[in-house]
C-alpha cells in the first residue's frame, strides 16, 4: 500500500509539473513574445531552444537556435545564415556577392556578378566566368591531379585526364602542358622553349630559338641558349656549373662540387663555401652586405646596410632590418618580432610558437590600435581598431589558426564564456551560450539567468521577470504593475516614498 501510494504521488507530481510547464509555454511566453516583437528593441529567449534579438535603430536582428548550432542574422547589408559546423553563408546585398563555406575548410562557394567559384580543399574546383553578354559563360574545372578542363583565350578549350592523356593551356606557370601515359611522355612549352620528358625525370630534351639541351638524370645533362645561359651537371648534385643572366648587366656563374666547394661569382655577388655546411662567406655588393656562415644554419653573421644578423642557434638569434627586428631566445622557447614605420607599427611576442602569443599593432597617423593575445588552449583576447575588446575561453584552435573561417564556423561551438566591451562602458557577456547573459548599452541594461530571473531597463523603464514571466514586475514611466502567470495583480502610479506633494494616486 505504501509503495502504491508513493507511485500515485509521484505520478501526480509529474503530471502537475507537466501541466504547469505547458501552461507557462502556452499562456505566458506568447504574451511576452508579442509585446517584445512590437518594440523597437526586443530580446526573446528560451534557452537552449532559441535566442532572438532585434534593434531597429541598428538595422540588426539575430536568431540563434540550439545555442550556437543555428544562426540567422541581418545587419544592414549583411545577411548571415549558419548551421554549424556544416555550413556558413554570408551575403552582401550592396555588391550582390555571397560566400558559403561547408565544413570549413573542406569546401567553399563564392558568388559575384563576374564569377562563381566552388572548391573542395583547393583540389576540386569549378569556376564559371560571366562575360559581357548574359548568355556567355566560360567554365574551368579541376580535380587535382586527375582532371582539368577550361578555355584559354589564346589556345581555346582544353581537357586533361592525368596521367592518361591531356592538354592544359596557360595554367600552373606554363603556356602549355601535353602528356600521354605520364611519366612515359610529357611536353611543356613556356615563352618559346619546348621541354620534352621521357620516363620523367630521367630523359629530357630542350628546344627553342637558339636554345638546345638534354639530360640523362642523374648521370649527365647540359643546356644552352646563346647569349642567355649555359648549364651542365655530372652525377647530380655532386657537380654542377651554370652561367645565367648573360644578356643582363649581372651575369652570374656558379660552380658546385658538393660537399667540398661551392662558388658564385657575379658583378653584384660573390660567395664561397668550403666543406659545406662548415664554412661559407658571401659578399653582396648590390645590397652592400657581407655574410659569414659556420655550421650553417647554426652560426651566422651578417653585416650590411639593409640587414644585420647574429645567430647562435639554438641559444640566440637576432635579425635586424631598417624597420623590422626578429629575435629568438633559446629557440623555440621565446621569439620577439618588431616592425616599425611611419604608417604602421607591430610587435609580437611568442612562447613555444603558439603556446602564448601577444600581437600589438598601431597606426601612428590616426592613433588606432589593435591587439590579439592568446594562451593555448585557455583563452583569446582581442582589441579591434575601433576600441572594442573581447575575451573568450576556451581557445583550442584560435591561438594556432587565426582564420575568419575558424571564427565563424567552429569557435562558437566551444566558447563557454564570451565578453565584449568598449571604453564607453557598453558590454555584452554570454556564459554557456546565453544560459546567462548580460548586456549594457549606455544607460540601458538587460540580463538573464535562465529560467530564474530576467531584467531589462531601457529609457527609464524596467521589466523584471521571475521564472520566464510567471512573476513579473514592470515600471513604465512611474506606472508600476505586477502580474502572476500573465494575470494582472494590481498596478499603481507615482512616488511611493510618502511625499505629500506627490501627485501619485493608487489604481486598482
Q: What is the pLDDT of residue 478?
A: 79
Greater pLDDT, 85 or 459: 85
Task: Annotate 280-344 with DSSP letters as a single string.
Answer: EEEEETTTTEEEEEETTTTEEEEEESSEEEEEETTTEEEEEESSEEEEEETTTTEEEEEEE-SS-
Is 70 exceeded by the pLDDT of residue 39? no
d(CA 46, CA 503): 40
Q: What is the pLDDT of residue 16?
A: 53
pLDDT above 90 coverage of the chain, percent: 73
d(CA 231, CA 263): 15
Instruction: Name the pLDDT band for 258 (thresholds 50, 70, 90).
Output: very high
Is 90 exceeded by the pLDDT of residue 153? no
Greater pLDDT, 508 or 10: 10
Full-model pTM: 0.80
Is 50 exceeded by the pLDDT of residue 1? no
Summarize the confidence of residues 122-130 as an average pLDDT: 91
Domain boundaries, the chain: 1-38
Instruction: Name the pLDDT band for 508 (thresholds 50, 70, 90).
Output: very low
Instruction: Name the pLDDT band for 17 (thresholds 50, 70, 90).
Output: low
CA atoms within 13 A on the CB side of 304: 19
Q: What is the pLDDT of residue 503?
A: 34
Summarize the confidence of residues 176-188 as an average pLDDT: 97
pLDDT above 70 coverage of the chain, percent: 87
> What's the chain's average pLDDT?
88
Which residue shows C-alpha cell 572548391?
Answer: 119
Spatial contact of 171 and 188, defined as CB atoms under 8 Å apart: no
Instruction: Write the pLDDT tens digit of every residue in 304-344.
Output: 999 999 999 999 999 999 999 999 999 999 999 999 988 99
Spatial contact of 392 and 370, defined as CB atoms under 8 Å apart: no
Is 80 exceeded by the pLDDT of residue 388? yes
Is 50 exceeded by the pLDDT of residue 444? yes
Instruction: Name the pLDDT band for 135 (thresholds 50, 70, 90).
Output: low
Summarize the confidence of residues 456-470 as an average pLDDT: 89
Is 90 exceeded by the pLDDT of residue 506? no
Cell numbers at 282, concatenated: 658571401
Summarize the confidence of residues 145-150 as an average pLDDT: 94
Q: What is the pLDDT of residue 58?
A: 85
Is 50 exceeded by the pLDDT of residue 500? no
Is 60 exceeded by the pLDDT of residue 495? no
Is 90 exceeded by the pLDDT of residue 64? yes
Instruction: Name the pLDDT band for 240 (thresholds 50, 70, 90).
Output: very high
DSSP conformational letter for 415: -
Amino acid at each position: 500500500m505504501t509503495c502504491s501510494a508513493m507511485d500515485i504521488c509521484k505520478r501526480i507530481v509529474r503530471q502537475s509539473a507537466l501541466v504547469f510547464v505547458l501552461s507557462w509555454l502556452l499562456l505566458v511566453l506568447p504574451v511576452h513574445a508579442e509585446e517584445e516583437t512590437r518594440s523597437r528593441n526586443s530580446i526573446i529567449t528560451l534557452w537552449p531552444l532559441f535566442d532572438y534579438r532585434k534593434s531597429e535603430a541598428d538595422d540588426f536582428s539575430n536568431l540563434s537556435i540550439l545555442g550556437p548550432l543555428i544562426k540567422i542574422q541581418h545587419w544592414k547589408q549583411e545577411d548571415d545564415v549558419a548551421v554549424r559546423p556544416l555550413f556558413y553563408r554570408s551575403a552582401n546585398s550592396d555588391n550582390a556577392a555571397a560566400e558559403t563555406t561547408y565544413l570549413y575548410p573542406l569546401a567553399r562557394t563564392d558568388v559575384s556578378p563576374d564569377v562563381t567559384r566552388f572548391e573542395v580543399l583547393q583540389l576540386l574546383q569549378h569556376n564559371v566566368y560571366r562575360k559581357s553578354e548574359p548568355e556567355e559563360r566560360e567554365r574551368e574545372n579541376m580535380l587535382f591531379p586527375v582532371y582539368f578542363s577550361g578555355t584559354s583565350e589564346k589556345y581555346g578549350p582544353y581537357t586533361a585526364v592525368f596521367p592518361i592523356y591531356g592538354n592544359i593551356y596557360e595554367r600552373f606557370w606554363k603556356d602549355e602542358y601535353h602528356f600521354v601515359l605520364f611519366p612515359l611522355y610529357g611536353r611543356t612549352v613556356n615563352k618559346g622553349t619546348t621541354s620534352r620528358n621521357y620516363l620523367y625525370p630521367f630523359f629530357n630534351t630542350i628546344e627553342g630559338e637558339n636554345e638546345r639541351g638534354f639530360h640523362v638524370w642523374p648521370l649527365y645533362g647540359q643546356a644552352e641558349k646563346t647569349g642567355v645561359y649555359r648549364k651542365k651537371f655530372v652525377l647530380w648534385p655532386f657537380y654542377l656549373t651554370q652561367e645565367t643572366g648573360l644578356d643582363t648587366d649581372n651575369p652570374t656563374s656558379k660552380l658546385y662540387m658538393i660537399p667540398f666547394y661551392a662558388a658564385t661569382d657575379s658583378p653584384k655577388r660573390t660567395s664561397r663555401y668550403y666543406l659545406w655546411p662548415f664554412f661559407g662567406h658571401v659578399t653582396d655588393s648590390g645590397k652592400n652586405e657581407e655574410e659569414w656562415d659556420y655550421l650553417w644554419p647554426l652560426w651566422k653573421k651578417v653585416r650590411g646596410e639593409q640587414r644585420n644578423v647574429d645567430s647562435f642557434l639554438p641559444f640566440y638569434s637576432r635579425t635586424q632590418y631598417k624597420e623590422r627586428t626578429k629575435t629568438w631566445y633559446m629557440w623555440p622557447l621565446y621569439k620577439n618580432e618588431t616592425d616599425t614605420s611611419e604608417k604602421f607599427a607591430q610587435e609580437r611576442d611568442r612562447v613555444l610558437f603558439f603556446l602564448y602569443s601577444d600581437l600589438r599593432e598601431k597606426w601612428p597617423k590616426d592613433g588606432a590600435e589593435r591587439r590579439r593575445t592568446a594562451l593555448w588552449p585557455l583563452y583569446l583576447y582581442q582589441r579591434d581598431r575601433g576600441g572594442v575588446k573581447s575575451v573568450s575561453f576556451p581557445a583550442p584552435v584560435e591561438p594556432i589558426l587565426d582564420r575568419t573561417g575558424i571564427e565563424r564556423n567552429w569557435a562558437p561551438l566551444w566558447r563557454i564564456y564570451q565578453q565584449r566591451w568598449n571604453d564607453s562602458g557598453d558590454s555584452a557577456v554570454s556564459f554557456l551560450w546565453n544560459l546567462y547573459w548580460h548586456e549594457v548599452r549606455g544607460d540601458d541594461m538587460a540580463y538573464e539567468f535562465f529560467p530564474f530571473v530576467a531584467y531589462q531597463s531601457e529609457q527609464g523603464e524596467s521589466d523584471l521577470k521571475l521564472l520566464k514571466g510567471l512573476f513579473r514586475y514592470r515600471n513604465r514611466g512611474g506606472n508600476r504593475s505586477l502580474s502572476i502567470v500573465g494575470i494582472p495583480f494590481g498596478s499603481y502610479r507615482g512616488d511611493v516614498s510618502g511625499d505629500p506633494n506627490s501627485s501619485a494616486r493608487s489604481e486598482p
